[in-house]
A and B are shown apart, each in its own frame.
Chain A
Amino acid sequence: MSEPLLQVSNLRTFFSTEEGIVRAVDGLSFTIHKGEKFGVVGESGSGKSVTALSVMRLIEPPAGEIVTGEITFKGEDLLGLKDEEMRKVRGGQIAMIFQDPMTALNPVYTIGNQLIETIMLHQSVGKSAAAEIAIQALDDVHIPNPKVRMEDYPHQLSGGMRQRVMIAMGLSCDPDLLIADEPTTALDVTTQAQILDLMLVLTEERNTAVMLITHDLGVVAGFCDNIQVMYAGRLAERGTTDFIFDDTLHPYTAGLLGSMTRLDEVREERLYSIRGAPPSLIDPPNGCRFRSRCDFAKEICTRDTPLPREISEDHWVACHFAPDLDLIRVKGEPVG
């Protein structure tokens, strides 16, 4: 694969709350390469957003803090950057779009205003040149009448249109990495597919790497080269999309696959659902965090924390028993 773009190693991001310290991300390492489409999957609360916000250095003190870890972007140590240097990275080299397009845009400024603001912040162009770029960016995301839409306020656009605006804004400065945190979760299914297609086409054209965060394996399936499955702030499994779907190693991944609705499949048996709920991230006990929900848990799972192991090239898993488990009955027969 091409050269590394973003390297995160041993990231720990904690929040101090009244109930105690929430270990939202607890020792996570991964690498995203230039132009790579990298999926991050896990149930809600597994630390996906916190990982993304840590990379952006948008974890809010005093409650939140990156306790340990290294984040290297294009060879530069992001955690060591001064605030104003980090601001050049944000929006310029790493752009981020969020889950809820209804609330992600400022309601009191026009679309044009908010686009032009971003462009002028990162490119040395005047206002009229920035407006030209903005109109082009809206055109790129297939917004009809971009010139007219520039004058619209966010409330005048539909959810899908607003997410297109967010994508236009994210890509307007030609970043190397686009972080999309559940970009389609709030949208209806048809719009969801359109937005994903659009994101894929645009980022392929520009060779932009994407970190696509979602709780839905179905969303990353057609999009990503590699997928990282997270559980309770840690890595469960990571590998190419084919590995994850076909050579599943972790019982949690298998559970996610088993509970996935697939349009191309008529299922005989009921959808699988993972029993129980994720553990509290305050003072989590030793051992495997998934064990209480795992059909295969043994005594060692209580005693020892499973560390990520590379089972085959670029296929990592954090489970004591991989690759020896028979996961078919959990995830269902492979398709095709």
Chain B
Amino acid sequence: MLQYVIRRLVYGMITLLALSIITFTLLQNTGGDPLDRLKSNPRITQQAIQEMAEFYGLDQPGTKQYLTWVGNFVQVWNYPTAWGRSFQGPQQVQELVLNRLGGTARLMFTALGLAVMIGIPLGIYQAIKQYSFFDQATTTFSFVTFSTPIFVLGIGLQIILALKLEQWTGVKFFYTSGMNSTSYSDLSFGARIGDTLQHLVLPATSIALISIAGYSRYQRASMLEVMHSDYLRTAKAKGLSRRSVIVKHALRNALIPIITLVSLDVAGVLGGAVITESIFAWPGMGRLYIQAIFLNDWPIVMAVVMLIGFMVVVMNLLADLAYGWLDPRVRYD
């Protein structure tokens, strides 16, 4: 078991290494010169630009730049200088990115939690009530949601649940930008929680909706399959009540395949967060990342990509462990 975890971590490292090489190569070849903006500024001399390029190591060949970057990047304990300096100014990338990590993590875990806690029970209930009005209505709803782009969902929620709701009721239920109000530090403990939730609900829901739709559809199918399985017929033939048949014999089996889906979806949720952060002015890595891409600020881009890759690797490992915990047929060797 421990051996399995260690081996998976080693594979994870290799995956991350490959990810870093591919991303770096792509950025080098398509990103353009990070100093382009300076070059087009007539007040900056050729000499100054030359010095900048030397300072950042941009005059070196790509391979050399990559090796230098990796060598420094892995020394995460050299906070805050390990991940290099942003091309936009004096900020250290590690400091910039890690400061924003909390915001993204808050958004991501809330969205993932919502999706799991709503999507999975929804799918199970749909399967139990197959063909009912509830089943048909929610299945249609899931289908529509699943095919709607995330920015449409985000803006839609802003218009309906923030703008219109406030106009109709005169009460502000939800905020559409930022992580907290400016008055946050003056609030009482209870009011702080309220303020945090009021900011969190809409962006987290926009991300979660698509996952809820996906999970419930998948969970419904998996539950239906289990409900038609031979061992469920055996359970009924034993004389078990419908309740025990579902709770004991169907649920656990029906949950096994969904774990894989959720772990694969972590990357999707993070991708959703990147877009949602821009719509809701959420101070997370996503906005930093998009800005950095436009400015060819590759140390930031690389750092964000590596963090996302790291989270995906860790979540996949957790998913595999959960898989083995639910399914005795899985062996770790």
**Quick check: is B190 within 8 A (CB to CB) of the other chain?**
no
Shortest CB distance A150–B (Å): 14
> How many inter-chain residue pairs (CB < 8 Å) link A and B?
67
Contacts of B329 in A (CB 8 A): 107, 153, 155
Given contacts A58-B233, A105-B231, A153-B329, contact A87 B240 (CB under 8 A): yes
- Chain A interfacial residues counted at CB < 8 A: 28
Q: Please report which residues of chain A, range 93-135, place their CB below 8 angstroms from some CB of chain B when the two chains form the complex.
A: 95-96, 98, 100, 103-108, 117-118, 121-122
- Decide if A169 touches B239 in the complex (CB within 8 Å): no
Q: Does B252 contact A (CB under 8 A)?
A: yes
Are A90's CB and B238's CB within 8 A?
A: yes
* B61 contacts A by Cβ under 8 Å: no
* CB proximity of A48 to chain B, nearest CB, Å: 15
Q: Contacts of A107 on B, CB cut-off 8 Å?
A: 231, 253, 327-329
Judge whether A6 is part of the interface by a CB distance below 8 angstroms: no
Nearest chain A CB to B132's CB is how many angstroms away? 11
Q: Which residue of B lies closest to A98 (CB)?
A: B230
**Which residues of B are found within 8 Å of A105, using beta-carbon distances?**
231, 234
B237 touches A58 (CB 8 A): yes
A108 touches which of B131, B238, B327 (Cβ 8 Å): B327
Indicate if B192 sits at the interface (CB-CB under 8 A): no
Instruction: Find chain A residues with CB under 8 A from B239 CB.
Output: 87-92, 118, 121-122
Q: Which of A84, A103, A117, A153 contacts B238 (CB 8 A)?
A: A117
What is the CA–CA distance of A84 and B239 in the complex, to the nearest angstrom?
9
Type the 1/0 row for A65-82, where 1 means its CB is closer than 8 Å to any CB of B.
Answer: 000000000000000000
Docked Cα-Cα span, A100 to B233, in Å, equals 12
Q: How far is the CA of A161 from the CA of B238 in the complex (A)?
A: 19
Check B131 against A62 for contact (C-beta < 8 Å): yes
Contacting pair B328 A153 (CB below 8 A)? yes
CB-CB nearest 8 A-B residue pairs:
A91-B239, A90-B239, A91-B238, A103-B230, A106-B231, A87-B239, A96-B237, A153-B328
List residues of B whose CB falls within 8 A of some A CB. 131, 229-231, 233-241, 248-249, 252-253, 256, 326-329
Q: A62-B131, A87-B241 are in contact. List 12 more A-B contacts (CB 8 A).
A: A58-B233, A91-B239, A96-B237, A104-B234, A106-B234, A117-B238, A117-B248, A118-B238, A121-B240, A122-B239, A153-B328, A153-B329
18 A–B pairs (Cβ distance < 8 Å), ordered by A = A58-B237, A87-B240, A91-B240, A96-B237, A103-B229, A103-B230, A104-B231, A104-B233, A104-B234, A105-B234, A106-B249, A107-B231, A107-B253, A107-B329, A108-B326, A108-B328, A155-B328, A166-B234
